[in-house]
Amino acid sequence: MMKKRILAIIFTIFLTSIFSTSLPVLAADESVENIKSKGTLVVGTSADFPPYEFHATIDGKDNIVGMDISIAEKIAEDLGVELEVQDIGFDSLLPALEVGKVDIIVAGMSATNERRESVDFSDVYYIGGQNIVVRPSDNEIYTSKGDLNAKKIGVQTGSIQESLAKDQMPESSIMSLSKITDLILALKTNKIEAIIMEKPSAMAYVANDKDLATFDGGFILEEDEQGAAVAVKKGSSNLVEAINQSISTINENNLTEDYLKEAGQLLKESQGPQEQTKTMFNYWNYFAKGTGYTILISVVSVFFGSILGIILSLMRMSERKIVRIPAIAYVEFVRGTPMMIQIMFIYFAVGYLINIPALASGIIAVSLNSGAYICEIIRSGLNSVDKGQTEAARSLGMSKQTAMRYIIFPQALKNIWPALGNEFITVIKESSIVSIIGVSDLIFQTKIVTSLSYRGIAPLAVTMVIYFMLTFSLTKLLNYYERKMNHDQI
């Protein structure tokens, strides 16, 4: 027991030290050269923020569009490279930039002094203003932020709205969610009374949804909180300069106006009121893509997890301490930390050393996690076989290996099999956490459908049914094999 605790402490210290060492800033600024030699500019955004950035179906295909994306396109064009857009949760954007998952952030992000401590910003390209979004029936009751004191207010996690709520509405209770689309749903289902949102975004949501209303929040903003700018990794002054040049051409030619108009048009076409008459069947391709990814992640992870689990369980049963202890430590550590942190750790921290794409990071993290559980499944399966069996086999002259292979393991399999099936089912459900790093699994796709359809409950219901169909058919399949296995052995 004591040993385990010490191990856990060592691991924690190890991890915190990795996280806290500030990484050295490169002496020479090669930010622009790097992007040019890659040939692509990777832009991080949080596409829940019309008209800045949002999902839209164009010619039956899902696209991320909006003013910010047009700006990013212009920057990429001026640099002479391709543009790649990554949709990440707003609160994960800064870490993604710091570890180099993305080259720049264009997400309507305010260039606050606080953020300037960890990243650099371009010139401001747009000034929005702060609104409050409410249900239309409350539009007369609430007219300013003062009326909402002591009420439940929704804000996006990590946004300046979160601090505005804390500082200027100290009596209210705050609900922070990472997607604005989820906040809208919370508002519509009376979980919160209001949402603080950037004005252009509030207007965009209200224009396309008769169940929402908005007014100026009357917030007082510090100078540095007012405008949206492009964020880059600290020390990339050449990149900042290049971006500023693009921004100044945009300003000279009043291009933001055009971008906004275009965004408004796309928003109306793909998320307008006509969308609200559509049924969930219209979004089947979104669900299908998500289901495909969820199945892929689960199958691959359980496969690699099983290999890892077998190796770990063999290690655990070894007579040599030096082999046994690492396996025990691994299992304890993995089981003792949340999978969400493990996924983020692989994606961000390990990804700092080697750049692993989101899908691969997700699969690696889920496999590593599952391996620990599968190890325990195998171990307890083997333990459940009576000791007498080994003794009998050995006294018949069988070697240890032969006894394990022909006597113990076949009996253990009967216990291992159903537990392994359960693990598979767990992985199908729990792998949904990979959506936080932007893998388009079923949960991620559900959120897109929520934002496209302006409906919160229907997409959830569809997703629930899909998950159930997946797990139920798996159960049936496993039962079939289990019966067959029992039959074979009689």
Binding site residues, ligand ARG, CB under 6 A: 46, 48-49, 52-53, 90, 107-110, 156, 159-160, 180, 198, 228
Nearest distance in Å: CB 328, ligand ARG:
43
Nearest distance in Å: CB 210, ligand ARG:
23
Say how far residue 265 (Cα) sits from the centre of its chain. Answer: 29
CA dist 122 and 280 (Å) reads 41
CA dist 300 and 308 (Å) reads 12
Is the Cβ of residue 90 or residue 205 nearer to ligand ARG in the bound state? 90
Of 207, 26, 55, which Cα lies nearest the Cα of 131? Answer: 207
Q: Are 67 and 126 in contact (CB under 8 A)?
A: yes
Nearest distance in Å: CB 40, ligand ARG:
21
Nearest distance in Å: CB 233, ligand ARG:
17
Nearest distance in Å: CB 153, ligand ARG:
15
Nearest distance in Å: CB 440, ligand ARG:
18
Nearest distance in Å: CB 86, ligand ARG:
12
Nearest distance in Å: CB 108, ligand ARG:
4
Is the Cβ of residue 182 or residue 275 nearer to ligand ARG in the bound state? 182
Q: Are 416 and 313 in contact (CB under 8 A)?
A: no
Is the Cβ of residue 105 or residue 404 nearer to ligand ARG in the bound state? 105
Tokens in use for 490?
């009689």
Is the Cβ of residue 90 or residue 467 nearer to ligand ARG in the bound state? 90
Is the Cβ of residue 52 or residue 454 nearer to ligand ARG in the bound state? 52
Is the Cβ of residue 160 or residue 470 nearer to ligand ARG in the bound state? 160
* CB atoms near residue 278 (< 10 Å): 14
Nearest distance in Å: CB 282, ligand ARG:
25
β-bridge mates for residue 83, sequence order = 41
Is the Cβ of residue 107 or residue 169 nearer to ligand ARG in the bound state? 107
Is the Cβ of residue 107 or residue 213 nearer to ligand ARG in the bound state? 107
Is the Cβ of residue 62 or residue 87 nearer to ligand ARG in the bound state? 87
Tokens in use for 31?
């930010």
Nearest distance in Å: CB 52, ligand ARG:
6
What kind and span of H or E run contains 213? strand 213-216
Largest CA distance in the chain: 91
| Residue with token string 């809208």 | 184
Residues 297, 303, 307, 312, CA torsion sign: positive
| Residue with token string 């490279």 | 81
CA dist 374 and 108 (Å) reads 44
**Vertex 385, ends 472 and 383: CA angle to 5°?**
85
CA dist 405 and 486 (Å) reads 18
Is the Cβ of residue 130 or residue 306 nearer to ligand ARG in the bound state? 130
CA dist 126 and 244 (Å) reads 13
Of 66, 122, 115, which Cα lies nearest the Cα of 95? Answer: 115
DSSP code, position 337: S
Is the Cβ of residue 229 or residue 297 nearer to ligand ARG in the bound state? 229
Nearest distance in Å: CB 214, ligand ARG:
15
State residue 353 phi and psi, 5-degree precision. Answer: -80, -50
Nearest distance in Å: CB 97, ligand ARG:
13
Which amino acid would we find at residue 127? I
Is the Cβ of residue 194 or residue 365 nearer to ligand ARG in the bound state? 194
Contacts of 64 (CB under 8 A, 6+ apart): 45, 47, 53, 54, 55, 56, 85, 87
* Reduced 3-state DSSP string for 117-134: CCEEEEEEEEECCEEEEE
Q: Are 273 and 210 in contact (CB under 8 A)?
A: yes
